């Protein structure tokens, strides 16, 4: 059973294999020679959180791969409320071939995987966002041609996206510097796991509170919203803490001339990123958003051994 819960569950070779598959699938789609890898397969999509990119990209991915997707709203499946998560996993496994779950708590996707008889894909949890991570590294691969010797700088909150970038960079041998305000760093256990993965590839990992240190000579600058879904009561306090971490033209000037800027969206323009950078010549944001589609196709094909 191939579940896709966190990039840290993969080894470097498997991560590269999925990325190469994504490149291949994207190329054939654009050439009009795509293959119906998942003909007659059905994806069940469990949503506790709303989403533009996750909903549309998975739905379109299954359609273009020859299969179908079934959307299950928060009101239809209330994990652990109307019935146990274990029972949901056992029941939905009888109907579909693969499940994507976008949840609040990571424990929910873990429990789904423990009891399901079909692959479970983590579409987002509070711990990590591996589907976004795959799209991110696909984008970096396209722009930079590889990962060795490249520096990825992340500015902002030590959240689920920052965690996926840590794990992916460590596995791919890409240097990763994360700059967060005090009290908003990645959890020590998460950082330790990243270090263990990096020890296998030689990736250099740096955690700092200095955003200028992070962006200096960076090949990629990445940011995300300062307040994630479910943290709305913290928004006002966070807006006082994070302005120094805004990705703007001054910070971009400190990176390499051909640096790209990334954001997983939705963006709060004027907060974590300025319009001038988000819409400027160094922005890869919308290529990155498109790559959710291609990366997730590869994830679906990989989990179902359909390549």
State pLDDT tens for residues 50-59.
Answer: 899 999 999 9
Q: What is the pLDDT of residue 106?
A: 97
Among 97, 108, 224, 246, the one annotated catalytic: 224
**What is the C-alpha separation between 269 and 275, in angstroms, rounded?**
6
Domain boundaries, the chain: 7-129+292-303, 132-288
Does 210 participate in catalysis according to the annotation?
no
Among 132, 246, 288, 296, the one annotated catalytic: 132
Mean pLDDT of 157-182: 98
Q: Residue 98: CB partners within 8 Å, gap ≥ 6?
A: 41, 42, 43, 44, 118, 119, 120, 121, 300, 303, 304
Is residue 74 predicted with pLDDT exceeding 80?
Answer: yes
Among 108, 126, 264, 294, the one annotated catalytic: 264
**Which fold would CATH assign to domain 7-129+292-303?**
Rossmann fold (3.40.50)
CATH architecture of 132-288: 3-Layer(aba) Sandwich (3.40)
Among 53, 129, 263, 294, the one annotated catalytic: 129
Q: What is the pLDDT of residue 128?
A: 98
Is residue 231 predicted with pLDDT exceeding 80?
Answer: no
Does 264 participate in catalysis according to the annotation?
yes
Nearest one of 137, 201, 144 to 165, comparing CA atoms: 137
Does 183 participate in catalysis according to the annotation?
no
In the chain, the DSSP E strands lie at: 42-47, 68-72, 98-102, 120-124, 151-155, 175-179, 205-208, 220-223, 260-263
State pLDDT tens for residues 189-227.
Answer: 999 999 999 999 999 999 999 999 999 999 999 999 998
Phi and psi for 219 in degrees, rounded to 5?
-90, -25
Q: What is the pLDDT of residue 75?
A: 84
Question: ∠ at Cα 89 (84, 92), nearest 5°?
Answer: 120
In this prediction, residue 234 has a pLDDT band, given cuts at 50, 70 and 90, of: confident
Q: Residue 270: how many CB atoms within 10 A of its CB?
A: 10
Q: Residue 302: how many CB atoms within 10 A of its CB?
A: 21
State pLDDT tens for residues 86-134.
Answer: 999 999 999 999 999 999 999 999 999 999 999 999 999 999 999 999 9
Phi/psi region, residue 217 (left: phi>0; alpha: psi -120 to 50; beta: rest), is left
Question: ∠ at Cα 113 (176, 69), nearest 5°?
Answer: 90
**Are 137 and 19 a contacting pair, CB within 8 Å?**
yes
Q: What is the pLDDT of residue 81?
A: 80
Q: At what angle do helices 130-144 and 12-31 cross, to 10 degrees?
A: 70
Is residue 229 predicted with pLDDT exceeding 80?
Answer: no
**Are 133 and 190 a contacting pair, CB within 8 Å?**
no
Three-state DSSP at 205 gives strand
**Average pLDDT of the residues of the chain:** 96
Phi and psi for 224 in degrees, rounded to 5?
-145, 170
Q: Which two tokens stand for residue 245?
A: 């971490």
In this prediction, residue 78 has a pLDDT band, given cuts at 50, 70 and 90, of: confident
Tell me whether domains 7-129+292-303 and 132-288 share a fold: yes
Among 3, 53, 102, 238, the one annotated catalytic: 102
Among 53, 238, 263, 292, the one annotated catalytic: 292
Mean pLDDT of 18-43: 97
Q: What is the pLDDT of residue 24?
A: 98
In this structure, of 136-140, 233-237, 241-245, the range with the lowest mean pLDDT score is 233-237
Does 78 participate in catalysis according to the annotation?
no
């Amino acid at each position: 059973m191939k579940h896709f819960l966190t990039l840290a569950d993969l080894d470097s070779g498997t991560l590269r294999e999925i990325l190469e598959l994504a490149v291949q699938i994207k190329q054939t789609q654009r050439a009009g020679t795509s293959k119906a890898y998942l003909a007659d397969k059905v994806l069940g999509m469990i949503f506790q959180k709303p989403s533009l990119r996750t909903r549309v990209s998975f739905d379109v991915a299954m359609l273009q791969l020859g299969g179908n997707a079934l959307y299950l709203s928060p009101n239809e499946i209330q994990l652990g409320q109307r019935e146990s998560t274990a029972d949901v996993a056992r029941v939905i496994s009888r109907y579909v071939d693969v499940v994507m779950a976008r949840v609040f708590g990571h424990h929910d996707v873990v429990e789904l995987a423990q009891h399901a008889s079909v692959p479970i894909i983590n579409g987002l949890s509070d711990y990590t966002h591996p589907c976004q991570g795959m799209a991110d590294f696909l984008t970096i691969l396209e722009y930079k041609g590889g990962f060795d010797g490249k520096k990825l700088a992340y500015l902002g909150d030590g959240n689920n996206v920052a965690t996926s970038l840590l794990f992916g960079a460590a596995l791919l041998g890409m240097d990763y510097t994360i700059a967060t305000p005090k009290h908003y760093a990645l959890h020590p256990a998460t950082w330790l796991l990243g270090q263990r993965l990096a020890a296998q590839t030689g990736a250099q990992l740096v955690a700092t509170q200095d955003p200028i240190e992070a962006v200096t000579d960076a090949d990629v600058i990445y940011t995300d919203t300062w307040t994630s879904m479910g943290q709305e009561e913290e928004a006002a306090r966070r807006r006082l803490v994070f302005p120094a971490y805004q990705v703007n033209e001054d910070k971009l000037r400190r990176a390499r001339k051909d640096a790209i800027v990334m954001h997983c969206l939705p963006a709060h323009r004027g907060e974590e990123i300025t319009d001038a950078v988000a819409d400027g010549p160094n922005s890869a944001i919308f290529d990155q958003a498109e790559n959710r589609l291609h990366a997730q196709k590869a994830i679906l094909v990989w989990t179902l051994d359909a390549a």
